[in-house]
């Protein structure tokens, strides 16, 4: 019997661990048991990072969206979650960005929780850079604020979230298994059925399995669930030339080369990341173009001429999508938010051209592949959709609650990882 069972081992699970009382009996069900997956259609960066490390990609619950070339989506099954593959941008929201004001007493409380989480890591960059000529004053150029290591090991890179989770779990009973479902046992406590067929019991269950992982557990646990819906921030990817001089003007050599924001007071209205492909692995370029990586090229950086083209990922207030997952079939469908023209995107491309870029192509990222999932809603027979927090509260009288990004009704255009983590910490503190 545990006081608390924490399900998950990604960024929000880490944030929950920073808020849990150290004297309690705690179990952590990590979910870090990757299921065999067919290699095709896995995101190139996930493929390459796993390939370079000689690891399993750490994915589970493959959800299809029709026959090829439609791309599937996966929940994560690895310590550290999707931050093992990206998620290095560790950016705070502005005071007018949607940081879930119903959870935080005020903006200062939000910043304080961000600071506690940041204290577990080493963070570099974030400084404002000189604005190029012809770029209006509401646009700001920054060296990316990157999570580059942990407080113990400053150069951990993409291992950072994994190592920080491992450090914080040291006092808990760890189950390196997947949670299948949650139910009330015959002693009126709550049980978590594990992937080895056994169960563990606790007085309180915290769900932090990531939005897709949480959805899978909720569908398996609640009666009469016919499906779920969620939102994603699925930005645009533009491919340009002519931004090489801008990248070379600043000395930091990283795949995330620069960020450009458009601000409206305390709100970020557009966030763009400019990538330096010559700072990437050679295998990442090959996986992105021909779908293959080669063992002979492990550890080999891309040649300098790879930066002749600059991918630019652009997020705006309109670049969101909605996904629906059918509980019976496990398939998903969805669409981008309905707009005729994204004027912020058009304006951003125009400003990039104004500082020397030639934009050759621009399109939306594949449905569900923005990986900024949030706003999980549960649909049961003969009822309207309910936010996951409300559905769990009614079902369990507060004994089971969700603390990952599933509970965020909306996110801003800046990367939301740090904000989701701060929210998770504050929700556990409020418990």
Pairing of the two strands 73-76 and 59-63: antiparallel
Secondary structure of the chain in HEC code, one letter for each residue: CEEEEEECCCHHHHHHHCCCCCCCCEEEECCCCCCCCCCCCCCHHHHHHHHHHCCCCCEEEEECCCCCCCCCEEEECCCCHHHHCCCCECCCCCCCCCCCCCCCCCHHHHHHHHHHHHCCEEEECCCECCCCCCCCCCEEEECCCEEEEECCCCCCHHHHHHHHHHHHCCCCEEECCCEEEEEECCCCCEEEEECCCCEEEEEEEEECCCHHHHHHHHHHHCCCEEEEEEEEECCEEEEEECCHHHHHCCCCCCCEEEEEEEEECCEEEEEEEEECHHHCEHHHHHHHHCCCCCHHHCCCECCHHHHHCEEEEEEECCCEEEEEEECCCCCEEEEECCCCCCHHHHHHHHHHHHCCCEEEEEEECCCCCCCCCEEEEEEECCCCCEEHHHHHHHHHCCCEEECCHHHCCCCCCCCCHHHHHHHHHHHHHHC
**Per-residue pLDDT reduced to its tens digit, 117-142:** 999 999 999 999 999 988 999 999 99
- Angle at CA of residue 118, ends 116 and 120, nearest 5°: 85
Return the pLDDT at 36. Answer: 65
Return the pLDDT at 66. Answer: 77
Return the pLDDT at 251. Answer: 66
Return the pLDDT at 79. Answer: 94
Average pLDDT, the chain: 92
Look at domain 2-430 and name its CATH class: alpha beta
Q: What is the pTM of this model?
A: 0.95
Instruction: Kindly report the number of other CB atoms within 10 A of residue 341's CB atom.
Output: 8
Q: Domain coordinates of the chain in residue numbers? A: 2-430
List of the chain residues with pLDDT < 50: none
């Amino acid at each position: 019997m545990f006081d608390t069972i924490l399900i998950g081992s990604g960024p929000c699970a880490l944030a929950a661990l920073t808020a849990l009382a150290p004297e309690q009996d705690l179990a952590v069900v990590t979910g870090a048991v990757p299921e065999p997956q067919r290699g095709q259609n896995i995101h190139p960066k996930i493929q390459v990072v796993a390939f370079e490390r000689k690891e399993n990609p750490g994915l589970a619950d493959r959800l299809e969206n029709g026959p090829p070339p439609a791309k599937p989506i996966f929940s994560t099954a690895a310590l550290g979650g999707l931050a093992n593959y990206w998620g290095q941008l560790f950016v705070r929201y502005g005071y007018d960005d949607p940081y879930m004001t119903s959870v935080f007493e005020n903006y200062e409380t939000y910043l304080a929780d961000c600071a506690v989480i940041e204290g577990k890591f080493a963070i570099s960059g974030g400084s404002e850079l000189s604005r190029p000529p012809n770029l209006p004053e509401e646009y700001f150029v920054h060296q990316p604020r990157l999570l580059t290591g942990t407080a113990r090991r400053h150069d951990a890179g993409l291992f950072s979230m994994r190592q920080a989770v491992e450090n914080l779990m040291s006092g808990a009973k760890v189950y390196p298994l997947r949670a299948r479902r949650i139910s009330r046992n015959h002693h009126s406590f709550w049980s978590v059925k594990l992937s080895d067929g056994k169960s563990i019991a606790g007085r309180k269950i915290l769900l932090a399995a990531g939005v897709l992982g949480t959805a899978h557990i909720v569908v398996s646990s609640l009666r009469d669930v016919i499906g779920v819906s969620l939102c994603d921030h699925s930005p645009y990817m533009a491919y340009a030339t002519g931004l090489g001089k801008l990248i070379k003007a600043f000395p930091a050599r990283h795949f995330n080369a620069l960020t450009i924001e458009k601000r409206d007071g305390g709100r970020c209205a557009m966030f763009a990341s400019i990538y330096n492909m010559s700072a990437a692995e050679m295998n990442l370029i090959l996986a992105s173009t021909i779908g293959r990586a080669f063992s002979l090229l492990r550890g080999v950086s891309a040649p300098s001429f790879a930066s002749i083209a600059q991918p630019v990922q652009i997020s705006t207030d309109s670049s969101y999508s909605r996904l629906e997952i059918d509980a019976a079939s496990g398939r998903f469908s969805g669409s981008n938010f309905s707009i005729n023209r994204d004027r912020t995107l058009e304006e951003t491309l125009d400003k990039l051209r104004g500082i020397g870029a030639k934009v050759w192509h621009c399109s939306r990222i594949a449905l569900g592949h923005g990986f900024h999932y949030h706003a999980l809603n549960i649909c049961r027979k003969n009822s309207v959709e309910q936010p996951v927090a409300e559905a769990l509260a009614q079902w369990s009288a507060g004994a089971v609650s969700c603390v990952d990004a599933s509970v965020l009704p909306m996110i801003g255009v800046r990367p939301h990882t740090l904000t989701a983590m701060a929210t998770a910490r504050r929700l556990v503190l409020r418990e």
